[in-house]
Structure 1
């Protein structure tokens, strides 16, 4: 039974939280596990959004109608109430507690006097945008055990609104339509095969009466696709698969023709892709190109990452992995594609934010309709929106895996970039790492200045083949040795060195000249999405909780405020009764916060997520960080195991545990730090959790399908050794009840992907 709470005041009770999901392999498989439909609501006055209103969204900047603002997805607002002259008066108007200590990635929708947003576990909220008063909350009550399927935390980027309904992709693979007035379920469709490790984390898009949604899961072994559902009934309109099925046979989907003519020949006939799905999930960017009546979407990495394991007996490009694809908006039929990383080997997804613009790139400076993307691989691409022709591509960040693009638009790869063989590996540490030079954090554009603002970063990774790889050998199924280069016992200074190696910048990019106009250096490598306004201001949150405003023309900082939590979501803005508001959702988690967040746990401790909304002269206070009771961490058992056992423990920990509980055995504090876990005290207690699944109800499912009891005990030995070797690197706030959980809402723990690949 799904739960909806309607209240008349802003009093908040603790929310029940939940987990993840999966796509079906044939079109016929989707009509299952549906909730009974209810009578559709009257759209008048409540989310009364139709096609005309969406088409004209740029003309009504008082609202924020879609995830990225308008169909062009430039995240630029025409509002000018907050200016460079008065921004010093900007302060909090209200805050709302989301009651979760997990990653928050949602940009709120504001329409007809109501704000709609999501938090972790796909929970949907309707708030008063002036006061923050809670109107209703819908909890889809996902089984927490499904969280193990979530590569990159149990996050959600937001909702879509249309015809009196609010649409949300639930992390367990459901697509649901809610009554915008009440939060009641209008219809619910399972869009995936839930026996497989699919999830949904992205925001739906509305295009000509259809709801478009993709999915994630490529790190765990799935086959990606994009689906369009009738917004009124929930019936499937069309589906486009992004990689062939294992037998290269028709699926009964709209993508059949292009696979037969083009894509099938780019894959071999064997290898891990035939059992692990091939990947190519559409987990973020979906854009409606009105002028060309097409949908342009980004496609993710291969499954597994390692192309020599994924497709060992061919050298094909593996279409449409790591590609930008355009299809007819009415039928889903293929129009064109451009592959940013042929035969992707490094989790260089092309799912990052795609935006549309008209730039003077035609003959004699004529206007040309283009699609722009800064994907993980580090190149900024400008593509003709009508034809898919590459106009130009240049690095927007520091990269070393390729030196440029050839005349056909293919990367000129470094000679060592594909040398994954441990026997011949020459020590090439590749930039960018799986986190990418840019990840899910949305860009923005100021069309008046002609600048695109990119939340860029620099991290590195050694890519070496996993010698133990078999099909589905681990919860996180990349085919790469995730322990490569990690010391068995990290010496003093390791954490500091890793911290110094991760860099972040805000880049103001001139897409016509293909060069940076200015950059702002950040203290960390993982920072928030961007908002641009017509008054020449750019807003961005940072990993350390700072929310800042910059001069859009120069990069000079104009204003900042400390939010006391990771400020990583894309901000939004709206206007009510002549007063402009800027809003952002906060929360610390995500792939970076779980797998690598220990690097910044001193400055970004775990905190309850919030909605924080600003206006000129606001009088609210942003609650300070409260992580609850702190206890002194200490090992719960004596060290044991020889060097071979500890090395095996490092390998299995890195493949199965690090993406949630942190590299080197050090947690960020969002999820339990296993070094101090009471379950390490005895082999029996540890086995009960890791092998028997005694904590499955909390999201920690059994790993007996991917590791042996001997592997499990080796992990325990490694974790205990790390605790004794480095007792001073304790996580912050620990729950005094058993010295394990931070004093935050009782969330589940998903299996997470260190590269945020989905």
Structure 2
């Protein structure tokens, strides 16, 4: 991977920005990325730029541009591309303004491009310590950036907000938004709403307390902070905007919940209504994941898996709607939140829409949080429906699992995950990738939460429970399906769907009457927004999981997307043993009659033969438990897939295994030392387990399933 330098202004970049980009005189005066409230308001009708993660504050990811349309999209080709020198997942939605395209990569490396030619204008590396890769659930990804008043604002994996000068890429200000003594991380895009940078964080899987904070976009000054779960009651108020509501939140928890973090991290979607002056926070799963361990199986546990509306100026609580009280299944409500005005039962309603992991599509009144409607868009059995009088789900009691395994739909991958949803005001349809899935859940009776580890509390991997789990997993495998879905939020029913081969299909863009999406066929495709008919599809050598954008420059419409397969979906799919050869990640930019051709992809080498397995069954079983607690977040359940498939280690890597885990000799690759969590005999046991798994699956090209 290319070793990036600290912020450098490429030779001649200033002249490029002012001269060769051919910007209008008015743009030269205001400078690049001169975004303000007036310019954001103009985006509702002007599709020239892509200034915000969701393009406009409504986050519809809809553009009125239609130079590329159903009649000519078959002529679409690559205008330019940039090799990003990483096999990590690239999940970011780029931004575009004033002739410059801005992008962010894993480890928060940020690049500005001449949007006509792809020439790099500057590159900035915030030097994120690679050990923070341990804290990222699903790779050290970044889902986007923000721009305001001549600044490009990034949120780093290690919890910093950094404002960069859009012209030079040099830092203007930097602040630390998270405590440095807990495993917080940031993978979601920061959002700027009328001069306020609002940012959440990740880490709920590792036992921390979620919060969201706001900062002045011009100075980096803290404006407010709101905690999403209650802290230690003995410590009194936090002195933050959430203090007024904390007594109410606390009543929904039981046991010593504050010792285990609580979770509810706002790890991705955050939205805004400028007229109502409300910021909407989508919150994550609980910590530990199992309700029994987290809150003694009691209480709704606010604000886990909720939408929380806050006053944008003060951060004070306005309303909430909890999709999943008693959350027990790793369901998160951090998916795209889209605002629209819809005519429902003869009345125009100001709504906010979301299709979270739990499988229901929600339409809420965005002023009050009142539930308007909710219907399932994938098979669901954790709840039989939503009570329209109370707004609460009708939870299936059997879904609250004990030590006896049960099958629950959807699984933790969710009916819809983080991949951005879009909405067209022309068709009045929402478009998003869906995943019909299930998971076998059971409690681990021996579970004891540990700091900085995956605190699922799930079990059922030994004895009779394992036999039942194995049989139920056959049903899980048989029912898995994926689609691009068009959903009518007024009628709450499907308009059309397109089948796709594997989970992890990308975010969605609607431009005119076209729906663009990257697919796990390793293609980028355009569909008719009205019918779902595939109008154009191009192989791009990797699955573009990110949100695409479109922009207009010199009278030419472009479409841009990051093609970099990875992240949580890739880990799930790699766990199925299905791993396609792919190119390293690229930023791809298309236009009509583009004629750039991608170089061929080298086929993947056969997995090396593993060393002999000499450990006892007892040691291997102990290694399996330690692996599940410490390693599987990055390296996959049952050591299948993940960021690095450990079943495919070379003989040399096997020799270095202990030094890699304990001494951190691969820290520069994101594999930091685990000496603070593991002892040498623990590492030996984990290594023995990995060797055993490699023997079980060695030589298998597709299924990857073994008796463990």
TM-score normalised by length of structure 1: 0.85
Match of 1:748 in 2: none
Match of 1:288 in 2: 272
* 1:456-467 equivalent positions in 2, closer than 5 A: 456-467=434-445
Q: 1:240 to 1:167 in 2, by over 3 A?
A: same
Q: 1:474 to 1:191 in 2, by over 3 A?
A: closer
Q: 1:282 to 1:562 in 2, by over 3 A?
A: same
Match of 2:7 in 1: 4
Distance in 2 of aligned mates of 1:612 and 1:483? 43
Q: CA deviation at 1:724?
A: 2.3
Preserved CA contact (<8 Å) 2:504 2:570: no
Preserved CA contact (<8 Å) 1:94 1:620: yes
Aligned with 2:205: secondary structure? Answer: coil
Q: CA deviation at 1:713?
A: 2.3
TM-score normalised by length of structure 2: 0.91
Q: CA deviation at 1:447?
A: 1.1
Q: CA deviation at 1:459?
A: 2.3
* 1:305-316 equivalent positions in 2, closer than 5 A: 305-312=289-296, 315-316=298-299
Match of 1:409 in 2: 391
| One of 46, 58, 63 as aligned partner of 1:60 | 46
Distance in 1 of aligned mates of 2:362 and 2:482? 20
2:206 aligned with 1:223, yes or no? no
Preserved CA contact (<8 Å) 2:78 2:596: yes
Deviations 1:287-343, CA, capped at 9 Å, x for gaps? 11123111111011111111111111x621111111101011111111100000002
Q: 1:527 to 1:486 in 2, by over 3 A?
A: farther
Q: 1:482 to 1:554 in 2, by over 3 A?
A: farther
Deviations 1:225-271, CA, capped at 9 Å, x for gaps? 111101111010011111111227311101100113x2121112x33
Q: 1:549 to 1:692 in 2, by over 3 A?
A: same
| One of 686, 706, 713 as aligned partner of 2:684 | 713
Preserved CA contact (<8 Å) 2:81 2:587: yes
| One of 395, 398, 402 as aligned partner of 2:379 | 398
Q: CA deviation at 1:674?
A: 4.0
Match of 2:361 in 1: 380
Match of 1:196 in 2: 182
Aligned with 2:516: secondary structure? Answer: strand
Q: 1:233 to 1:205 in 2, by over 3 A?
A: same
Higher mean C-alpha displacement, 212-221 vs 397-406: 397-406
Preserved CA contact (<8 Å) 1:432 1:461: yes
Distance in 2 of aligned mates of 1:574 and 1:336? 36
Q: 1:9 to 1:132 in 2, by over 3 A?
A: farther
2:576 aligned with 1:599, yes or no? yes
Preserved CA contact (<8 Å) 1:246 1:277: no
Q: 1:480 to 1:141 in 2, by over 3 A?
A: same
Distance in 2 of aligned mates of 1:709 and 1:698? 22
* 1:667-686 equivalent positions in 2, closer than 5 A: 667=641, 670-678=643-651, 681=654, 685-686=656-657
Q: 1:153 to 1:9 in 2, by over 3 A?
A: farther
Deviations 1:587-623, CA, capped at 9 Å, x for gaps? 12201223542536443x3531111011100011123
Aligned with 2:638: secondary structure? Answer: helix
Aligned with 2:547: secondary structure? Answer: coil
| One of 560, 571, 583 as aligned partner of 2:548 | 571
Aligned with 2:618: secondary structure? Answer: helix
- Structure 2 unaligned runs (5+)? 14-27, 704-708
Q: CA deviation at 1:60?
A: 1.6
* 1:399-548 equivalent positions in 2, closer than 5 A: 399-406=380-387, 407-419=389-401, 421-422=402-403, 425=404, 427-472=405-450, 475-481=453-459, 483=461, 501-534=479-512, 536-548=513-525
2:308 aligned with 1:331, yes or no? no
Preserved CA contact (<8 Å) 1:324 1:350: yes
Query: What is the CA RMSD across the aligned residues, in angstroms?
Result: 2.7
Distance in 2 of aligned mates of 1:136 and 1:429? 50
Preserved CA contact (<8 Å) 2:229 2:262: yes
- Structure 1 unaligned runs (5+)? 11-41, 733-758
Match of 2:609 in 1: 634
* 1:75-474 equivalent positions in 2, closer than 5 A: 75-247=61-233, 249-260=236-247, 262-268=248-254, 270-271=255-256, 273-312=257-296, 315-361=298-344, 365-406=346-387, 407-419=389-401, 421-422=402-403, 425=404, 427-472=405-450
